[in-house]
Amino acid sequence: MKRRMVIVLASALLAAACSGGAPAATVSASAIAQQYKGLALGVDAAYLQWKAATTGATRVDQITAPAAAYAAALTNFDNAVAAIPASGKAATDIATLLSADQVVIADLNAAGSETASTIAAWARHLAADGAKAIQAGQTVRADYGLPPA
C-alpha cells in the first residue's frame, strides 16, 4: 500500500509540475522543492516500514520481503527524483544521491543471499551505505531550502 502511495504521489506531483504545457525548465524553485519533499516523505515512510519489519531480525526469511519492498520504493523514488528538473549544484547533488541509493538498493537486493551467520555483517554494511545515502539526501534538501529530515 505504501509503495502504491509513493507511485501515485510521484505521478501526481510530476503531472502538477508539468501541467499547462509549460516546459519543465519554467517550474519554480519552490514547486521543485515541494515536489522533492513529497517524494522524500513517501520514501521515508517506506524506510520506516522496512525498519519496523526488520528490527531484531536474525533469520534471512525475516529480511527478504521487507528488503525487496524497500528496494522497490527506493527505486521508484530515484526514478521520480531523476525526472525533477535540476541544474547546477542541485543536479550534481541529485546525481550523488542517486548513486548512493543504487548502492543501498544493491545491498537490499542481496538480502536473499545472506545466511544466519552473515546477516549481522550485512546489516552493518547496509547501515553504513544507508548513512551515505541519508547524507546525500540531506544535501539535496539543503539545495532546495528544505529542513533536514
Q: Count CA atoms closer than 13 A to 127's CA, side-chain side.
A: 9
Q: Is the pLDDT of residue 128 over 70?
A: yes
In total, the chain counts a number of residues equal to 149
Total-model pTM: 0.81
- What gap in Å lies between CA 25 and CA 29, rounded to an integer? 10
Q: Give the tens place of pLDDT for each residue, 86-108.
A: 999 999 999 999 999 999 999 99
84 vs 5: which has the higher pLDDT: 84
pLDDT-derived band of residue 23, with 50, 70 and 90 as boundaries? Answer: very low
Task: Give the model confidence (pLDDT) of 53-82 as tens digits.
Answer: 999 898 999 999 999 999 999 999 999 999
Distance CA 119, CA 58 (A): 7
Which position has the higher pLDDT, 1 or 97? 97
